[in-house]
């Protein structure tokens, strides 16, 4: 197996190629030696194909462009056509016909050296999205891409393949929880200026609630999302935001999901309240379809309520990122009280009562295998919900039981696996706060060794968690109640986690600053604040 492609991803990649580009190998590079150290085979320039004649009225490139799931030799290029993106049925004003467009990939921002150019069909059954698998690329290299239709040309996106060999450095931005109504996307406006290679989205890309009305920002539709049309419209509504579009156009993304891509605190085929498992599965199918249509992910289109999104990304021998799904196949959390509006907050004897699965059997086996086979210096876990444990109670213990705190046996197994790999680091979202935690062998037991540091990215815009939970959570090293994102810079010797926070979440033009910087030395899981 190729080191940069996890087993599961290899299988998916083999089946998922929407289109394959074979571009010729040309003369030796004039860019100097490839960073990979492998024989350098620069792409030969090609002439762009003619754009298909425009049949649809109006600008179809309203939702921007994106790229994602890079390997050392390929990357997924995405767009979704919509001439009327706010149409209430979520169909984007384009009806039932498939629409042919052209895509181009170039070695430069001006497209003076086009390396690949092809036609592709944006299928109505896929919400008029396209997922181009641009292949035959060089490792650790920047590329530019665009889409064309009639005389319309999309925004130009910039992307990059993953490095191979022994990279000196790799940079990630970690983002999550971007409720449209919660604030502007000033965090994304600032993110485009960061020196990172990849953006990791840990979920809550959308929220499923009615968008509301009146003053302030409101997404569409103004109803609880249940149908594929509803979810499509919600993604379109978010993706009209220019700062979100700019971030996607600037960096490749790798995304997993948390609960709100479907429904608050859904776990497996359960939600708080009285929905039947059949109803939950139906809603999952609609939500997963729209998620896939709107993400630049290297995955086959879903067919029903199952879509395996866990996958890994390897940056040469420097780092592997394991991206997890902690909702789809999860057991129902303990002591669920359906009268508490789905908070899954509290404590009960049941917490330790049974071995509840968090990842599901398939994903758990995959992760054990992937971690067991890791040959990289750092092992980064893209883990949507907090692992180290947080006791948010005041007078007595109380936990958010849809986090790993409700799944103690599964957590024990995961922590034991992390203890067996080199330099595990946990990257987390969901809590609507920035945090630094120590993942102990036994959470809350400070006498057990620290296995990994955990860095929780602050929310982009979702309302902050406003309680101070440092009192009952000794493994919590720092709590930062601010909006923003996390920048993680990895070198062979050190990992640096920088908390970037905005001044004013309501202002898209907000300034940004650094709230805290923590470093982790290779070989020592205890993070140090600098
Ligand atoms: Fe959230
Ligand atoms: Ca969440």
| Nearest-ligand number for the alpha carbon of 176 | 1
How much distance in Å is there from the Cα of 265 to the middle of ligand 1? 10
Residue 339 three-state SS: coil
CA dihedral sign of residues 326, 329, 330, 332:
positive
Report the separation in Å between the CA atom of 488 and the middle of ligand 1, taken as the mean of its atom positions. 20
Q: Which ligand is nearest to the CA of 465?
A: 1
Q: In this structure, which ligand is nearest to the CA of 177?
A: 1
Alpha helix positions (H), 240-382: 242-250, 277-294, 361-372
Measure 263 CA to ligand 1 centroid, in angstroms.
11
Q: How far apart are CA 198 and CA 69, in angstroms?
A: 9
Ligand with smallest separation from the Cα of 432: 1
Chain length of the chain: 530
529 CA → ligand 1 middle, Å: 26
Q: What is the DSSP secondary-structure string of 400-429?
A: ETTSGGG-HHHHHHHHHHHHTSSSEEEEE-
Tell me the CA–centroid distance for residue 463 and ligand 1, in Å. 8
pLDDT of residue 339: 61
What pLDDT, on the 0 to 100 scale, is given for residue 12?
34
Q: What is the per-residue pLDDT for 6? A: 35
Write the DSSP string, 424-479: EEEEE-SSSSEEEEEEESSTT-TTSPEEEEEEEPPPSSSPPP-S---TT-TTEEEE
Q: How far is the CA of 343 from the centre of ligand 1 (A)?
A: 12
For residue 518, the CA-to-ligand 1 centroid distance in Å is: 24
Token match 């169909």: residue? 91
Taking the centre of ligand 1 as the mean of its atom positions, its distance from the CA of residue 432, in whole angstroms, is 6
Burial of 165 (0-12, 13-18, 19+ CB in 10 A): middle
Residue pair 290/307 in contact (Cβ under 8 Å)? The answer is no
- Which element (helix H / strand E) includes 12? helix 7-16
Asked whether 85 and 236 are in contact (CB, 8 A), the reply is yes
Distance CA 261, CA 283 (A): 10
The widest CA-to-CA distance across the chain, in whole angstroms, is 71
Cis peptide leading into residue 221 (ω within 30°) = yes
Strand partners, 529: 518
Contact 153, 137 (CB under 8 A): no
Q: Decide: helix, strand or coil at residue 182.
A: helix
Distance between CA atoms of 70 and 192, rounded to whole angstroms? Answer: 18
Q: What is the pLDDT along the chain (530 residues), one digit of tens a residue?
A: 333 333 333 333 333 334 434 333 333 333 333 333 333 444 789 999 999 999 888 999 999 999 999 999 999 999 999 999 999 999 999 999 999 999 999 999 999 999 999 999 999 999 999 999 999 999 999 999 999 999 999 999 999 999 999 999 999 999 999 999 999 999 999 999 999 999 999 999 999 999 999 999 999 999 999 999 999 999 999 999 999 999 999 999 999 999 999 999 999 999 998 899 999 999 999 999 999 999 999 999 999 999 999 999 999 999 999 999 999 999 999 988 776 577 899 999 999 989 999 999 999 999 999 999 999 999 999 999 999 999 999 999 999 999 999 999 999 999 999 999 999 999 999 999 999 999 999 999 999 999 999 999 999 999 999 899 999 999 999 999 999 999 999 999 999 999 999 999 999 999 999 999 999 999 999 999 99
Cα 323 off chain centre by? 8
What pLDDT, on a 0 to 100 scale, did the predictor assign at position 377? 98
Using H for helix, E for strand and C for coil, what is the string for 193-213? Answer: CCCCCEEEECCCCCCCCCCCC
Cα of 81 vs centre of ligand 2, distance in Å, is: 28
Q: Would you state the pLDDT for residue 340? A: 55
Measured distance CA(457)–CA(465) in Å, rounded: 13
Q: Give the closest ligand to the alpha carbon of residue 205.
A: 1
What is the reported pLDDT for 57? 86
Separation of 141 CA from ligand 2 center, angstroms? 34
Helix and strand numbers, DSSP H then E, in the chain: 7, 24
CA of 50 to the centre of ligand 2 (A): 44
Q: What is the dihedral of CA 302, 312, 147, 304, to 10 degrees?
A: 10
Q: Which residues pair with 399 in a beta bridge?
A: 346
Using CA atoms, how far apart are residues 141 and 117, in angstroms rounded to an integer?
Answer: 18
Rounded distance, CA 386 to CA 429, Å?
7
Place of tokens 């035959």: 136
Q: Give the residue carrying structure tokens 């034991």.
A: 416
Nearest CA to 294 among 80, 12, 94? Answer: 80
Ligand 1 mean position to 433 CA, how many Å? 10
* Predicted pLDDT of residue 56: 86
Residues with CB under 5 A from ligand 2 (ion): 204, 258-259, 430
Q: What's the CA-to-centroid distance between 14 and ligand 1, angstroms? A: 33
Q: How far is ligand 1, taken at its centre, from the CA of residue 204, in Å?
A: 5
Q: Ligand 2 mean position to 176 CA, how many Å?
A: 9
For residue 450, the cross-strand partners are 440
What pLDDT, on the 0 to 100 scale, is given for residue 94?
95
Residue 360's SS3 state is coil
Cα-to-centroid distance, 498 and ligand 1 (Å)? 20
**Helix or strand (DSSP H, E) at 226:** none
């Amino acid at each position: 197996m190729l080191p940069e492609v996890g087993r599961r991803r290899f299988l998916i990649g083999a089946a998922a190629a929407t289109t394959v580009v074979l571009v010729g190998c040309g003369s030796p590079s004039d860019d100097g030696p490839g960073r990979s150290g492998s024989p350098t085979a620069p792409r030969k320039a090609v002439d762009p194909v003619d754009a298909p004649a425009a049949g649809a009225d109006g600008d179809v490139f309203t939702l921007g462009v994106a790229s994602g799931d890079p390997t050392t030799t390929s990357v997924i290029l995405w767009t979704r056509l919509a001439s009327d993106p706010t149409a209430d049925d979520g169909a984007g004003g384009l009806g039932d016909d498939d629409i042919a467009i052209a895509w181009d990939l170039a070695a430069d921002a001006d497209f003076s050296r086009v390396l690949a150019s092809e036609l592709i069909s944006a299928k109505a059954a896929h919400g008029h999205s396209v997922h181009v698998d641009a292949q035959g690329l060089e490792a650790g290299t920047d590329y530019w891409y665009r889409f064309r239709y009639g005389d319309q040309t999309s925004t130009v996106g910039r992307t990059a393949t993953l490095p191979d060999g022994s990279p000196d450095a790799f940079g990630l931005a970690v983002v999550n929880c971007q409720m449209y109504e919660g604030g502007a996307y000033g965090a994304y406006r600032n993110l485009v200026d960061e020196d990172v290679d990849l953006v990791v989205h840990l979920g809550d890309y959308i929220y499923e609630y009615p968008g509301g009305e009146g003053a302030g920002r409101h997404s569409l539709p103004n109803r609880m999302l249940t149908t594929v049309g509803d979810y499509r419209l919600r993604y379109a509504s978010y993706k009209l935001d220019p700062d979100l579009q700019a971030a996607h156009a600037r960096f490749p993304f790798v995304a997993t999901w948390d609960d709100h891509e479907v429904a608050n605190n859904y776990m497996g085929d359960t939600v708080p309240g009285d929905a039947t498992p059949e109803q939950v599965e139906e809603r999952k199918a609609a939500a997963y379809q729209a998620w896939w249509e709107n993400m630049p992910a290297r995955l086959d289109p879903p067919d029903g309520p199952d879509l395996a999104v866990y996958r890994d990304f390897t940056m040469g021998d420097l780092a592997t990122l394991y991206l997890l799904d902690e909702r789809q196949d999860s057991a129902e959390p303990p002591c669920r009280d359906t009268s508490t509006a789905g908070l899954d907050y509290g404590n009960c004897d049941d917490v330790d009562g049974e071995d509840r699965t968090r990842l599901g059997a398939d994903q758990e086996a995959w992760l054990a295998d992937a971690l067991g086979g890791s040959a990289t210096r750092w092992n980064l876990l893209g883990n949507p919900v907090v692992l180290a444990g947080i006791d948010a109670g005041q007078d007595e213990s109380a936990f958010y039981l849809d986090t790993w705190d409700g799944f103690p046996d599964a957590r024990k197994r995961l922590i034991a696996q992390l203890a067996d790999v080199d330099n595990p680091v946990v990257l987390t979202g969901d809590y609507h706060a920035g945090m630094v935690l120590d993942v102990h062998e036994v959470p809350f037991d400070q006498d057990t060794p620290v296995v990994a540091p955990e860095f929780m990215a602050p929310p982009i815009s979702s309302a902050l968690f406003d309680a101070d939970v440092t009192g009952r959570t000794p493994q919590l090293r720092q709590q930062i109640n601010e909006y923003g994102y996390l920048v993680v810079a990895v070198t062979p010797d050190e990992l640096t986690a920088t908390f970037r926070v905005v001044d004013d979440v309501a202002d898209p033009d907000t300034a940004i600053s650094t709230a805290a910087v923590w470093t982790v030395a290779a070989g020592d899981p205890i993070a140090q604040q600098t």
